[in-house]
A and B are shown apart, each in its own frame.
Chain A
Amino acid sequence: MIRGIWPLLIALTAACLAPGIAAAQSVPPVPAPGKSIADCTAPDRYLAPKIPLRRSAEALRAAHRLRVLVFSSVRMPAVTESVEAKRYPATLAQALTARFPGIEVSLTNKIEARAGIAESLQGLREELAAKPYDLVIWQLGSTDVLRGTDMHLFEMKLAGGIGEIRSRHADAIVMSMQYSPRTDFMFDAGPYLQYLRWTAKMEGAALFNRYDIMRYWVEDGLFDLSELQPGASIFEDVHRCVGQLLMRFIANGIAAPETQ
């Protein structure tokens, strides 16, 4: 009888000690105040679009210009201009200008407030009808994950939006939502990401997977996104990094052999 108890006892002790051992082993990731752009990394697989950006390459070659639209659909709009200057579109505009000297880069930044994918698509359509673009970056998903939008609706509208962008002779990049380690037990982004991946692939849009990239940062200790009260610069650092990597993603898509 006694012999039977021992393995269980040992296992239980181990279970009780587990959190302690985990705590002792852990090294808190170094917070990164004022990250420089050079620190900004992500594995190559996140930075190589599966769909070449033909229209953008053509615009660069033929017209020496690149007209970009960043269309984000967020629930809470970052209303003030000072906040807007810290979001990734601002970094992206600077980075693209630096990356393509001699090219006239114009970036339009539109935010559809409190928009799920249906409202976002509506706004996107209006914007595309108003002005021509070479490259459209459609950022979406957050609101839908939070609301739990019906999957079929999500897929249908996503396909519709990508089709609309392409029918206007622009390259389409779909950008996934943020990764939020603190709240991901409440909102399951998984199914939406899968739909983003597949629908983008099938409808001919490149996918800039911000979610996976941010998750990679957290797992690699580049950023600590779960700190309860992080330093003031976290917002800026993350957005600057996203803008920088997005520029590299676009440059890779333009340089793809199929566009030459």
Chain B
Amino acid sequence: MAEARRARGDGGRTGTVVRLPVRPRPAPAPRDLRLDFFRGLALWLIYLDHVPSNVLNVATLRNFGFSDAAEIFVFISGYTAALVYGRVMRERGVIIATARVLKRVWQLYVAFVFLFVVYLAQIAYVAQRFQNPLYAEEMNVLRFLDEPDVTLIQALLLRFKPANTDILPLYIVLMAAFPVVLWGLIKRPNLTLGVSLAVYAVARLMGWNFQGWPAEHMWVFNPLAWQFLFVFGSWCAIGGLDRLEPVLRSRIAVGVAAAFLLASLLVVLSWSVPALEGLVPDAVGELIYPISKTDLSLLRFLHFLALALVVAHFVPSDWSLLRARFAQPLVLCGQHSLEIFCLGVFLSFGAHLVLVEVSGRLLTHVLVSVGGIIAMVALAALMSWYQENEKRRGPDRAAGGSA
């Protein structure tokens, strides 16, 4: 909580940041604010989804279609990674770009270890203080703290993953492999995308996934499947988007995508809202179920594509509202995705504690959710302000961008 308080406490000074131009770069093309805006949105939704049994969960993306915020996050992360490191690779060569990517991997790894420690602290608290005979089973599992040697080593190997942090190990693996992927995308973009698709297809057909710990655990986000979305995002940034331009402009494509979104909305609602049960024939459910998140089911991927197509069609990159005041909080969060994601996981633990410890009423759900988002925005604003300050003092200190 200290970090959240600090973020809030110092936040007053950050008010000026809102008016500054966002992250001026010497880049030839202006930064596409849609990326920051929607990644910020994904981070907010991920935070809301991570507070267990949060009432506001009903308003998040996963209840309106097959895909959810994770797809947005991974796609945009791939896209921005290619933008940032692609430029470095073209201008300064493969070795420098690889070094930059690996530096980022190291940051992600440290962030993961930090969250793991926070998670352990919360578990230790519950395991020590909670004595409800109803949950003897659950408490028994918490005894894994009795073997710290195994647990700690498995966590450092990314095999034991605290709840809600699963996307970080995925991100680490994807980024670790990124120098090779990026090199391939710059040399032979379509071939690289094809290889990525082949890996996805084979992994899905053969049921390949990374092994977790304890032994029965598999990775929640299968890197062999999710890499395709990440590489697809990178491919779009490396010029693929220009090739897709006719599709983005096509009214027929947008119509089909919108129809698909509507159909998936009906299917998902008929599963979750008791009153709408029977709206969609059971045969449809039987045909498409299960829609695997772990292995990035094709339906989830298509749903994300449809969503992205419709959004890209109706929201131009120079949309004036993206620069409007109300969009700033989202844009700011999107620009500091790693820090805001970590803060989100951290806050979700805190929010969970408030909900079980203080009050589980609707108002508390709303306050905890809104409070968490405000803390995320405040930290993002603070970081932007700090970065601007550093840059003004000495251009040599402005390290590479976030991706």
Residue from A25, A187, A232 within 8 A of B138 (CB atoms)? A187
The reply to whether B140 and A45 contact each other, CB–CB distance below 8 Å, is: no
Complex CA distance for A226 and B134, rounded to whole angstroms: 11
The reply to whether A75 and B141 contact each other, CB–CB distance below 8 Å, is: yes
A101 within 8 A of B: no
Size class of the contact patch on chain A: 35 or more
B294 within 8 A of A: yes
Residue from B16, B133, B163, B374 within 8 A of A11 (CB atoms)? B374
When distances are taken between beta carbons in the complex, the residues of chain B under 8 Å from A112 are none
Q: How many residues of B contact A (CB 8 A)?
A: 67
Helix, strand, loop or mixed for chain B's interface? helix
The reply to whether A12 and B8 contact each other, CB–CB distance below 8 Å, is: yes
Asked if A4 meets B19 with Cβ closer than 8 Å, knowing A23-B359, A148-B212, the reply is yes
The reply to whether B374 and A215 contact each other, CB–CB distance below 8 Å, is: no
The reply to whether B163 and A187 contact each other, CB–CB distance below 8 Å, is: yes
Complex CA distance for A202 and B123, rounded to whole angstroms: 37
B400 within 8 A of A: no
Complex CA distance for A229 and B131, rounded to whole angstroms: 5
The reply to whether B16 and A15 contact each other, CB–CB distance below 8 Å, is: no
When distances are taken between beta carbons in the complex, the residues of chain A under 8 Å from B8 are 12, 15-16
Complex CA distance for A49 and B141, rounded to whole angstroms: 32
Complex CA distance for A26 and B359, rounded to whole angstroms: 5
The reply to whether B207 and A183 contact each other, CB–CB distance below 8 Å, is: no
Closest A residue to B359 by CB, please name it.
A26
Closest B residue to A15 by CB, please name it.
B374
Complex CA distance for A75 and B141, rounded to whole angstroms: 9
When distances are taken between beta carbons in the complex, the residues of chain A under 8 Å from B123 are 186
When distances are taken between beta carbons in the complex, the residues of chain B under 8 Å from A28 are 359
Complex CA distance for A4 and B355, rounded to whole angstroms: 33
In residues 335-368 of chain B, which contact A (Cβ within 8 Å)?
348-349, 352, 354-361, 363-364, 367-368
The reply to whether B18 and A4 contact each other, CB–CB distance below 8 Å, is: yes
The reply to whether A183 and B135 contact each other, CB–CB distance below 8 Å, is: yes
When distances are taken between beta carbons in the complex, the residues of chain B under 8 Å from A182 are 126, 130, 132, 135, 138, 356
When distances are taken between beta carbons in the complex, the residues of chain A under 8 Å from B9 are 16
The reply to whether B285 and A198 contact each other, CB–CB distance below 8 Å, is: yes
Residue from B163, B274, B290 within 8 A of A185 (CB atoms)? B163
The reply to whether A8 and B293 contact each other, CB–CB distance below 8 Å, is: no
Complex CA distance for A231 and B300, rounded to whole angstroms: 46
Among the listed stretches A126-134, A149-157, A166-174, which one makes contact with chain B, having 4 or more residues with CB under 8 Å of it? A149-157
CB distance from B323 to the nearest CB of A (A): 14
Among the listed stretches B30-38, B39-47, B213-221, B230-238, which one makes contact with chain A, having 4 or more residues with CB under 8 Å of it? B213-221
The reply to whether B290 and A180 contact each other, CB–CB distance below 8 Å, is: no
CB distance from B17 to the nearest CB of A (A): 9
Complex CA distance for A148 and B154, rounded to whole angstroms: 15
CB distance from B177 to the nearest CB of A (A): 24
A99-141 CB contact bits vs B (8 Å, 1 = yes)?
Answer: 0000000000000000010000000000000000000000000
Asked if A188 meets B141 with Cβ closer than 8 Å, knowing A147-B216, A226-B357, the reply is no
The reply to whether A18 and B290 contact each other, CB–CB distance below 8 Å, is: no
When distances are taken between beta carbons in the complex, the residues of chain A under 8 Å from B290 are 151, 155, 194-195, 198
The reply to whether A185 and B349 contact each other, CB–CB distance below 8 Å, is: yes
Asked if A22 meets B132 with Cβ closer than 8 Å, knowing A12-B378, A226-B356, the reply is no
When distances are taken between beta carbons in the complex, the residues of chain B under 8 Å from A19 are 354, 358, 367-368, 371
A-B contact pairs, 9 of them (CB 8 A): A18-B367, A22-B367, A75-B141, A147-B216, A147-B217, A181-B53, A183-B126, A228-B130, A229-B131
